[in-house]
Structure 1
Amino acid sequence: MDKVGSLFAYKTAKYVVAKNKTIGILYRLFQLIVLGYLIGWVFLKNKKYQITDEIIQSSVKTKVKGYATITTSDGKEEVWGPEDYVIPQQGDNVFFVTTNLVDTPNQTLGYCPESPSAIGFNCTEDADCKQSKFFGNGKKTGICLNITNSNFTGICEIYGWCPPKTKDRPKTPVLSEAENFILQIRNNIRFPKFNFTGSNFKGKSIKQLNTCFYDEIKEPHCPVFRLGDIVQKAGYSFQEMAVYGGSIGIMVEWQCDLDKGWDCNPQYSFARLGNSPTHEFKFRYVRYFTDANGGKYRTHYSVSGIHFDVMVFGMAGMFGIIPTIVNLGSGFAFMGAGAYICDIILLYMMKKRTLYRVLKFETVKKNDKNIEKIV
């Protein structure tokens, strides 16, 4: 019967002041820890009183400047500008800067021996020169050429662009001057939740962008960098990377506290994407020409260089009453846990725990004579 009656009993709090120094110090210490966590970590460090927007809308335009003198394979000296060594030329957030190359000029369509370095083209008889679909610089004609003035005894004839590439990549970068080329990054961003827009070149004229360099304190709105400095800040030597090529990530981070004003500056960081020595970056392309008689010829380029990837991310925040109330409520609820822990220690671990339990818990029945006298 008592068990059934307990379902309809009501419990109300009874406050007992326990003048115990140990429990009192423990309770105040717990309150201070929670208060310090709430103010220091939640509000000051992580700014949980703010409404945030992590959806960043971004556009990036890049421009590389600088000229280099190179010597081609036929001994000619050429001056290369951005239109020669930057691919693609339109200036996207992903671009490639040529630093090393092997050029094969004056190629024309015709018949010639394959390059000695090509796989599967050495031969001793015509039967060795069957068609290969994947390797080489042209289509096999089925003829084995015995060339006596070379280091090999036989090579398959091909029909293709002749002569094929025969030289190896130089061990010293052809465009070693690329270390001093200048990179300009123009980045416009928008956080749609707050309708906040910004740019990393705010207030800079074209003339100023051509004469300044980025400095976090002195020139936060000058997005101009030296290529050698970018690779160095990523932890690598530009001249070593320029031989075989590689990929560099340029991170543009926007952390905008709009409570401090609507002027926000980005932070830049740099990292190599794939730091293994085998992570090269190279490819091939050609340039076609027409002679006075209408004949077509071309120059073949096998290039290595540095691939740059500009990545933009960030977050904007502004004071909001709802996240403030939610985090304050969570902090005060956590303070209540301190009282619960102290109650457990006081009622079940202290020497006078029996006395504290008697004082804290009291059952009042409906027919209690003492209650009737009070009433």
Structure 2
Amino acid sequence: MAHYQHEQEGDSHELRSTHYQPYNHQQYQHPARIQQHNAFGDDSDSEDEHQQHPAPDDQAPPEFDVYKDFNNSGVRYTTLLHGTADDSKHEHHGDHQSSGKTPHVAAEKALRDRDDDDAAGSFIGAPASPSTSHARLQPGLMPKPSTRKGRLAQLKSGKNRWKIGSVIAFLIIACVGVVVFLLVPRQPFISFENPPTLVRKEENNLVFSAKDPTRFSFDATLDIVLDGRTSYLPTLVRDFRAIVSDLGVTSGTIQVAKSKRAMAFTASTRNLTPLTTDVHFEYSAKLPSDNLWQTWRQACGNIAESTKNGTITRPSLQLVVLVQFSVVGMLGTKSDSTQINNVGCPAELPAGAPSY
């Protein structure tokens, strides 16, 4: 029991008003000096009684002084947070540097090392915390300036790549648009420089009949010029047809002729494209008194019989020429029309033909 109390006294430290009594290793050599202590840590019967302390030993380590500790010139109160006794405080005092570590300092250092080992072992195998605040408190995980600069550089490079990609996409779209603009064919139109004309044929199979059915028919040639210079590439025209209608007799148009056959050709992009197509005129009415039939009968009369004082008195015609065709590379049927005025009849009745 005495030995147990001896160990308890050896491990305890008695804090006085201004001095700290370090561990005295000589107590292990003199167990007889150990006294029975009460609950207040001494052998007195009351906490008011004066405590008895052994005489200071010359070989004992220096005592702790709070004023020296505040001025960084004395022994530290504890070495758990500030290292061993051989720290910067003892560097200014040569008398303390020569002294070795006391058993109390060694015990505190062993306790601190054991706590560090336990703390390190407790983190082995523990899962990493996803908390960003814990990561920010660790110096090793703090983002370095070079890392932040690298991220900024990556962000800038990403923006630059987006800008470069946008420019490249714009250039590609522009090039495709230019190519499409150049390659897409354009519709040719009837030239206004050379209006269409009707030409009489020698073998025209002319027929004017007042019998039932009242009708007329003959063949002629239509000369027409197309303008395909608006296209950058030659335009392939298919199924070209012409339709001729009368415009002067009624308020509307009445078809009187159309092409015999469809044509296919290539419209030039540098010059006008002249065309000649055969058209067949044909019209039927119920009575010879029909206005359209009478107009065409007079317009196609014999020229010699219709000349008076050197002037041909045959009436002229007001016609509309409509062309319909398809273009390779374009959808649907294209068309264009023009009006021709004061047109002479492309046919002539023989002399002595009856007039109705």
**TM-score bracket for this pair, using the shorter chain length:** under 0.3
Q: Is the strand fraction higher in 1 or 2?
A: 1
Max radius of gyration: which structure? Answer: 2
TM-score, scaled to structure 2: 0.23
TM-score, scaled to structure 1: 0.22
